[in-house]
């Protein structure tokens, strides 16, 4: 049991890799930056609009980056985020953000949708999107 | 039934061919589901443990899977930006029509603005913290919703309308919600088979979410619309002149068995805290009724847990105490066996509906993957003299003062 707990702790630690994540939006989005709290509210379904009142379309990932993103954004493991969404979606309140397979797909979708907001590894950011927040 | 399964399979197969692309294409269909596969057993054969009073069978020393196992399927349709439809059906151990009674949600939602939701159709009842999703084991910590608090609620849904408005207050979110409608619930009776219960209900809740904190208060008024049909022969017998000639008090007990046009008031408050490591949750409620078959009751529970990586250890303490005065049922003038039996059944129905229960539970949840959790729980129940109506009498004779219940299970979402 103790070995098992140690192993679990090690898995937890090794997950905090060195990647820096960038929260990105469309070039035409006129907001300067978003706070961690504002990005949380959008990805946790507490709001469906940007602070400027415009409709937003959060894009999640189905890649391993997802666990890292929520750990950095909410300081909670992804299992807790999934349990949170189970409560919200199975009581008919809201649906979780749509998931795309990788950074490339997110980048492409954010470029094409004015309201989109997604996250990718910082090294994949180019000048076709705007960075709203960096998560270390 | 076969038709519905076929339909759902077809929809599912069609949907699995859609390509991942984030542009909102309407209408958008999504199928998802949840389930629990669990087994439990106790250390007595004198009482059957059930997770709520809508269940017709319970577990004893013989372990079984139907107290905790269930599976739900949900279809969501985004019609456009502001309209949404949803249906959810849950296969579970319950009384009554297997399709109709287990259809927990089927509604149309209109969201005219970001912070306002109006839903109409079949809806979950938002009277308590878990009452909208107590089937979804993956969404909470314990093996089942706290017994003392939730087992006495046979109503899972109602047909009507709810309106929820959100406000930003001091960096937190305040939700104000009102709901109203009718419910039709089939409940098991000790007398014979199931009984149908029609209710008109209305209520509201106030919830505040701030950082790691979640607080709520709510109130729900229900009025019963009918007598319980299985009791009718008994009521007729109590009114019969020949019976009243041997047992003059018989007719006096009829009002005690009445369920029509009676009021039930549910009031509750809840508080939850979760910082990612420590989590605690408590609720307290008072149900005020003038129905003898469903006496007033005060319930509360407190849970505390700590996460160690993917494993969460928790404890849970619950209490439920009925508040009612026993009614003395007189004896017939002559000990005619049939009349004595009538007297005893009347006594039993009027006086053994109480709940007098406390429990402590220790348990473990292990999130083995991103959508599967394994759980195990030990609960120790203290059962008082005032009634064990949350349980099922498995054998005649005295009921035990304490019962241990062990459970293992797996919760998943997909």
Residue A25 inside a domain? The answer is yes
Q: For residue A112, what are its two tokens?
A: 């094409």
Report chain B residues whose CB lies below 8 A from the CB of A5.
308-309, 311
- How do residues A120-134 score in pLDDT, each as one tens digit? 999 999 999 999 999
Which pLDDT value is given to residue B291? 86
Which pLDDT value is given to residue B189? 77
Partner A contacted by B107 (CB < 8 A):
yes
Of B76, B105, B276, nearest to A75 by CB-CB distance is B276
Report chain A residues whose CB lies below 8 A from the CB of B311.
5, 8
Q: Compute the mean pLDDT over every residue in chain A, rounded to the nearest whole number.
A: 89
Which pLDDT value is given to residue B24? 65
When scoring B19, B20, B22 by the number of chain A Cβ atoms within 10 A, the one with the most, hence best to mutate, is B22
Residues in chain B where the model's pLDDT stays below 50: 1-4, 7-8, 11-12, 14-22
Give the CA dihedral B207, B208, B213, B214, nearest 10 degrees.
10
- Can you give the residue ranges of every domain in chain B? 36-70+138-413
| SS3 call for A134 | strand
Start-end of H helices in chain A: 2-15, 36-43, 65-74, 78-89, 103-112
**CATH topology for the B36-70+138-413 domain:** Porin (2.40.160)
Contacts of B187 (CB under 8 A, 6+ apart): B53, B54, B95, B96, B154, B194, B195, B197
Of A8, A59, A76, nearest to B309 by CB-CB distance is A8
Partner A contacted by B138 (CB < 8 A):
yes
Tell me if A57 and B72 make a contact (CB, 8 A cut-off): no
Which pLDDT value is given to residue A3? 65
* Pairing of the two strands A57-61 and A116-121: parallel
Tell me if B136 and A87 make a contact (CB, 8 A cut-off): yes
Report chain B residues whose CB lies below 8 A from the CB of A75.
276
Q: Report the gap between the CA of A124 and the closest CA in chain B (Å).
A: 19
Interface of B with A in 212-271 (CB under 8 A): none
What secondary structure letter does DSSP report for A21?
A: E
Which residues form the domain of A75? 19-135
Contacts of B33 (CB under 8 A, 6+ apart): B71, B72, B73, B74, B413, B414
Which residue is closest to A12 within chain B, CA to CA? B309
Tell me if A83 and B140 make a contact (CB, 8 A cut-off): yes
Q: Which of B382, B385, B381 is nearest to B405 (CA)?
A: B381
Residue A5 inside a domain? The answer is no
Q: How far is CA B159 from CA B103, B107, B113, B190, in A?
A: 11, 9, 24, 27
In this structure, are residues A30 and A52 in contact, taking their beta carbons and an 8 Å threshold?
A: yes
Instruction: Find the chain A residues whose C-beta atoms sit closer than 8 A to any C-beta of B.
Output: 5, 8-9, 11-12, 37, 46-49, 55, 57, 59, 67, 74-80, 82-84, 86-87, 89-93, 95, 98-101, 105, 109, 112-113, 116
Residue A30 inside a domain? The answer is yes
Which pLDDT value is given to residue B292? 83
Which pLDDT value is given to residue B9? 54
Residue A10 inside a domain? The answer is no
| SS3 call for A61 | strand
Report chain B residues whose CB lies below 8 A from the CB of A55.
81
Of B109, B119, B309, nearest to A9 by CB-CB distance is B309
Does pLDDT of A13 surpass 70? Answer: no
Partner A contacted by B306 (CB < 8 A):
no
Which pLDDT value is given to residue B293? 84
Report chain B residues whose CB lies below 8 A from the CB of A11.
309-310
Which pLDDT value is given to residue B6? 52
- pLDDT bin (cut points 50, 70, 90) of residue A5 is low
Q: Report the gap between the CA of B304 and the closest CA in chain A (Å).
A: 16
Report chain A residues whose CB lies below 8 A from the CB of B413.
82, 86
Residue A55 inside a domain? The answer is yes
CA pair distance B374, B372, nearest whole angstrom = 7
Tell me if B310 and A79 make a contact (CB, 8 A cut-off): yes
Residue A114 inside a domain? The answer is yes
Q: State the number of CA atoms in the 13 A half-sphere of A3 facing the CB.
A: 0
- Quickly count: other Cβ atoms within 10 Å of residue B315's Cβ: 13
When scoring A83, A85, A116 by the number of chain B Cβ atoms within 10 A, the one with the most, hence best to mutate, is A83
* Pairing of the two strands B213-224 and B172-188: unpaired
Which pLDDT value is given to residue B385? 84
CA pair distance B322, B384, nearest whole angstrom = 11
Which pLDDT value is given to residue B212? 92
Q: Report the gap between the CA of B350 and the closest CA in chain A (Å).
A: 36
Report chain B residues whose CB lies below 8 A from the CB of A91.
124, 132-133
Instruction: Report phi then psi at A132, rounded to 5.
Output: -100, -30
Tell me if B20 and A101 make a contact (CB, 8 A cut-off): yes
Q: Report the gap between the CA of B374 and the closest CA in chain A (Å).
A: 12
CATH code where residue A64 lies: 3.40.190.10
What is the DSSP annotation of A92-123? TS--PPEEESSHHHHHHHHHH-TTEEEEEEGG
In this structure, are residues B186 and B196 in contact, taking their beta carbons and an 8 Å threshold?
A: yes
Interface of B with A in 54-83 (CB under 8 A): 72, 74, 76, 78, 81
CA pair distance B87, B102, nearest whole angstrom = 11
Give chain A's length. Answer: 136
Q: How many domains is chain A partitioned into structurally?
A: 1
Which pLDDT value is given to residue B7? 47
Which pLDDT value is given to residue B190? 67
Of B30, B136, B309, nearest to A12 by CB-CB distance is B309
Q: For residue B230, what are its two tokens?
A: 């299985």
Q: How far is CA B138 from CA A9, B8, B365, in A?
A: 22, 23, 10
């Amino acid at each position: 049991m103790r070995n098992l707990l140690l192993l679990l702790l090690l898995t937890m630690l090794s997950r905090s890799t060195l990647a820096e994540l960038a929260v990105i939006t469309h070039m035409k989005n006129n907001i300067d930056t978003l706070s961690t709290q504002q990005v949380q509210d959008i990805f946790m379904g507490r709001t469906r609009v940007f602070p400027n009142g415009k409709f937003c379309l959060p894009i999640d990932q189905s890649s391993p980056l997802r666990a890292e993103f929520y750990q950095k954004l909410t300081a909670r493991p992804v299992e807790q985020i999934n349990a949170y969404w189970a409560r919200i979606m199975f009581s008919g309140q809201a649906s979780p953000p749509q998931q795309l397979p990788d950074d490339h797909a997110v980048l492409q979708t954010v470029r094409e949708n004015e309201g989109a907001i997604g996250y990718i590894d910082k090294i994949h950011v180019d000048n076709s999107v705007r960075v709203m927040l960096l998560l270390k | 039934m076969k038709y519905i399964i076929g339909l759902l399979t077809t929809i599912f197969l069609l949907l699995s061919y859609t390509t991942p692309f984030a542009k909102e294409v309407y209408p958008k269909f999504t199928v998802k589901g949840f389930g629990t596969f669990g087994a439990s057993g106790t250390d007595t054969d004198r009482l059957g443990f059930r997770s709520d009073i809508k269940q017709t069978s319970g577990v004893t020393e013989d372990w079984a899977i139907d107290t905790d196992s269930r599976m739900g399927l949900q279809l969501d349709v985004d019609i456009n930006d502001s309209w949404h439809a949803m249906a959810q059906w849950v296969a579970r151990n319950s009384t009554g029509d297997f399709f109709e009674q287990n259809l927990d949600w089927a509604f149309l939602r209109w969201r005219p603005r970001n912070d306002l939701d109006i839903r109409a159709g079949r809806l979950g009842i938002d009277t308590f913290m878990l009452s909208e999703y107590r089937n979804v084991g993956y969404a909470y910590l314990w093996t089942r919703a706290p017994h003392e608090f939730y087992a006495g609620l046979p109503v899972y849904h109602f047909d009507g309308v709810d309106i929820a408005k959100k406000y930003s207050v001091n960096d937190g979110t305040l939700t104000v919600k009102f709901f109203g409608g009718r419910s039709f619930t089939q409940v098991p009776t000790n007398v014979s088979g199931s009984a149908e219960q029609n209710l008109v209900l209305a209520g509201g809740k106030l919830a505040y979410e701030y950082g790691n904190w979640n607080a709520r208060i709510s109130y729900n008024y229900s009025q019963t619309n009918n007598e319980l049909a299985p009791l009718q022969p008994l009521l007729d017998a109590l009114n019969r002149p020949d019976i009243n000639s041997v047992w003059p008090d018989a007719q006096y007990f009829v009002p005690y068995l009445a369920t029509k046009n009676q009021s039930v008031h549910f009031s509750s408050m809840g508080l939850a805290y979760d910082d990612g490591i420590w989590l605690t949750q408590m609720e307290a409620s008072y149900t005020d009724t003038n129905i003898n078959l469903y006496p007033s009751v005060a319930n509360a529970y407190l849970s505390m847990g700590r996460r160690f990586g993917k494993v969460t250890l928790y404890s849970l303490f619950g209490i439920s105490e009925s508040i009612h005065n026993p009614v003395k049922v007189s004896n017939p003038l002559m000990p005619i066996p049939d009349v004595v039996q009538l007297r005893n059944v009347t006594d039993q129905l009027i006086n053994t509906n109480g709940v007098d229960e406390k429990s402590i539970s220790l348990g473990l949840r292990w999130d083995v993957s991103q959508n599967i959790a394994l759980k195990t729980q030990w609960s120790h129940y203290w059962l008082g003299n005032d009634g064990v109506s949350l349980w099922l009498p498995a054998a005649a004779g005295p009921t035990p003062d304490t019962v241990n219940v062990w459970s293992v299970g797996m919760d998943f979402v997909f």
